[in-house]
């Protein structure tokens, strides 16, 4: 009976897998390339403007200000409910740049504001971004240890 | 010999009142004109979506009692359920009423579950008047089962859109209206689907099992019904169900459809269709009830499906169990229209004198 059930489930899963409509790769790739590219161009533009307006600023500091600006724009667009529409169109194109990271922190903060500042916003803020931060920290530790021995 | 899952009601409880309330997106869908009330924005004047869901349930229950032309004191029991943890919408909505309450959880199958239980209680003379209700809200379900609303992610093509809406109906041992003649209680069926974005495929085997049990127990075929309607299998799930039934040797024809699949128009971008408790509840209490009252449908097999999953179980690698309950509703309209008019007039007079 058990073996039969397993076989039945496997067969059903295979059948469903064949039946599921596939997403078309080329249009999605094009959309994410387009939007991702626009975000990158925007970042470069901001960087260049900062360097024009503040000629004495070092390039490193200008990068930091560029990131801050992009994070602000994404958080603002999330707040007024536009970023999720961009995300729906662009997919990976708006998730991979730093704006996606900003969106992943802002959106739960908005969502859980009714549960209060501490238990709502502070606790839930990193539910999506948390794993990314953990991965970043852990991988940097590993790379650091390897670097120590080379 | 398999156990009998079907209950046949001797006294056939009557659905004397029904009410449906939906969100703005649902109001623009295919069934827009049939709903009793369309709310203007998703928050329904409340400061959180959970409170909005509760308020919708309260409105639906009040509306159904009004539609039945009875007093709230005449109601003996409220049967309700929803999708949220600890079924808070139903329990909190029940605070507002002065009658006994039984909370149910059957995921999206709650409408049929509550009606089947209510009809059984009435048929057994335990209660006289029972209100059955359920509802769901897109924003609360998204938050509980998926991601925050403003997160810029894409949905897979198999995903479904939780219906914002609530429906309620009043069952009674006497009165005029469509009658519940049979109910088939479903088993929990799991065919090993793990993808939480593919509820249709997880629930279709349960629908198949209940449908087979129903046809077996009652000796009927799909042709005996004017409409066979499943709850929220969606586009993909209903196609799977048709295939599964064909494997069992039963062909579902044009009288079969799925609430989730029908709910939204093509350009509303809901991918596989609608889902949630509210999906089958609102369509049943608006469109199907109207057609039954008009006599356009004589006999309807209504079978909402539910995926009994939780995010915790799914994250621990569990598969998704499905359930489906079926009820048969028969129209009370006879071809003789004069007699019908007389009886309704008589009913009106009695009410007036009270």
Length of chain A: 150
Work out the minimum CA distance from B285 to partner chain A, whole angstroms: 31
A67-81 burial, b if ≥16 CB within 10 A, otherwise e?
bebbbebbbebbeee
Residue A45 lies inside a defined structural domain of this protein: yes
Q: What is the pLDDT of residues A11-61, one digit of tens each?
A: 999 999 888 888 788 888 999 999 999 999 999 999 999 999 998 889 899
Q: Is B47 in Cβ contact with A107 (below 8 Å)?
A: no
Q: What is the pLDDT of residues B135-178, one digit of tens each?
A: 999 999 988 888 888 887 888 888 899 999 999 999 999 889 99
CATH classification of B6-172, choosing from 3.30.450.20, 3.90.870.10, 3.40.47.40, 3.90.1150.10? 3.40.47.40
Work out the minimum CA distance from B267 to partner chain A, whole angstroms: 15
Residue A38 lies inside a defined structural domain of this protein: yes
pLDDT at B320: 93
Residue A127 lies inside a defined structural domain of this protein: yes
Number of other CB atoms surrounding residue A149 within 10 Å = 5
The answer to whether residues B17 and B68 touch, using CB atoms and an 8 Å cutoff, is yes
Residues 30-49 of B with CB under 8 A from A: 47-48
Q: Is A84 in Cβ contact with B149 (below 8 Å)?
A: yes
Q: Is B193 in Cβ contact with A106 (below 8 Å)?
A: no
Q: What is the pLDDT of residues B260-298, one digit of tens each?
A: 999 998 888 888 889 999 999 999 999 999 999 998 899
* Pairs of CB atoms within 8 A across A/B: 89
Q: Residue A56 sits in which domain range?
A: 29-149
Residues of chain B with CATH 3.40.47.40: 6-172, 179-339
> Residue B129: which pLDDT band, with cuts at 50, 70 and 90?
very high
Nearby residues of B3 by Cβ (< 8 Å), 6 or more positions away: none
Tell me whether B197 touches chain A (CB under 8 Å). Answer: no
Q: What is the pLDDT of residues B39-69, one digit of tens each?
A: 998 889 998 999 999 999 999 999 999 999 9
Q: Is A91 in Cβ contact with B240 (below 8 Å)?
A: no
Q: What is the mean pLDDT of chain A?
A: 90
Tell me whether A113 touches chain B (CB under 8 Å). Answer: no
- Determine the average pLDDT of the residues in B103-122: 93
Q: What angle do CA A138, A141, A147 make, to 5 degrees?
A: 145
Residue B345 scores a pLDDT above 70: no
Residue A116 scores a pLDDT above 70: yes
pLDDT at B158: 87
For chain A, the domain total comes to: 1
pLDDT at B6: 92
Q: What is the mean pLDDT of chain B?
A: 89
ipTM for the complex shown: 0.86
pLDDT at A27: 86
Residue A8 lies inside a defined structural domain of this protein: no
pLDDT at B51: 93
pLDDT at A69: 94
Residue B1 scores a pLDDT above 50: no
Lowest mean pLDDT among A99-108, B125-134, B209-218, B328-337: B328-337
Nearest CA in chain A to B197: A20
Residue A3 scores a pLDDT above 90: no
The class (CATH top level) of B179-339 is: alpha beta
- Among left, alpha and beta (phi > 0; psi -120 to 50; other), residue B234 is left
pLDDT at B3: 58
Measured between alpha carbons, how far is A142 from B9 in angstroms, rounded to an integer?
69
Tell me whether B21 touches chain A (CB under 8 Å). Answer: no
């Amino acid at each position: 009976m058990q073996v039969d059930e397993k076989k039945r489930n496997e067969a059903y899963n295979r059948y469903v897998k064949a039946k599921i409509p596939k997403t078309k790769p080329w249009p999605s790739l094009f959309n994410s390339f387009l939007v991702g590219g626009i975000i990158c161009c925007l970042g470069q533009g901001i960087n260049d403007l900062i360097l024009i307006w503040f000629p004495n600023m070092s390039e490193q500091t200008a990068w930091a200000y560029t990131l801050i600006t992009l994070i602000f724009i994404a958080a603002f667009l999330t707040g007024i409910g536009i970023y999720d529409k961009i995300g729906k169109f662009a997919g990976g194109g708006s998730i991979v740049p730093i704006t996606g990271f900003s969106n992943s922190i802002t959106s739960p903060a908005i969502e859980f504001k009714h549960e209060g500042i501490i238990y709502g916003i502070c606790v839930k803020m990193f539910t999506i971004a948390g794993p990314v931060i953990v991965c970043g920290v852990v991988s940097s530790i590993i790379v650091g240890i390897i670097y120590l021995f080379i | 010999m398999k156990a009998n899952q079907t209950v046949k009601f001797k006294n056939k409880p009557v659905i004397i009142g029904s009410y449906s309330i939906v969100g703005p997106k649902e109001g623009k869908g295919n069934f827009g004109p049939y709903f009793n009330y369309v709310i203007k924005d998703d928050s329904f004047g409340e400061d959180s979506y959970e409170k909005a869901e509760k308020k919708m349930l309260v409105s639906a229950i009040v509306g159904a009692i009004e539609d039945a032309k009875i007093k709230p004191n005449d109601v003996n029991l409220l049967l309700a359920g929803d999708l949220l943890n600890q079924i808070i919408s139903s329990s909190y909505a029940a605070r507002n009423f002065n009658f006994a309450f039984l909370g149910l959880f059957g995921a999206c199958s709650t409408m049929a579950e509550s009606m089947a239980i209510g009809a059984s209680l009435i048929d057994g003379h335990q209660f006289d008047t029972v209100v059955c209700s359920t509802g769901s809200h897109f924003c609360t379900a998204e938050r509980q089962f998926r991601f925050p609303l403003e997160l810029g992610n894409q949905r897979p093509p198999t995903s479904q859109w939780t219906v914002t809406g609530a429906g309620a109906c009043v069952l009674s041992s006497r009165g005029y209206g469509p009658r519940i003649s049979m109910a088939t209680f479903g088993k929990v069926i799991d065919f090993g689907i793990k993808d939480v974005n593919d509820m249709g495929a997880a629930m279709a085997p349960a629908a198949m099992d209940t449908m087979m049990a129903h046809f077996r127990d009652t000796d009927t075929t799909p042709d005996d019904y004017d409409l066979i309607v499943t709850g929220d299998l969606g586009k993909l799930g209903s196609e799977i169900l048709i295939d599964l039934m064909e494997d069992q040797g039963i062909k579902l024809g044009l009288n079969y459809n799925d609430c989730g699949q029908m709910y939204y128009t093509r350009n509303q971008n809901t991918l596989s269709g609608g889902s949630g408790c509210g999906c089958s509840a609102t369509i049943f209490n608006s469109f199907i009830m109207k057609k039954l009252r008009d006599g356009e449908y004589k006999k309807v097999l209504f079978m909402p499906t539910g995926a009994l999953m939780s995010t915790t179980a799914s994250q621990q690698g569990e598969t998704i169990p499905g359930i489906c309950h079926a009820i048969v509703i028969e129209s009370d309209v006879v071809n003789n229209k004069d007699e019908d008019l007389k009886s309704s007039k008589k009913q009106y007079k009695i009410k007036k004198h009270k």
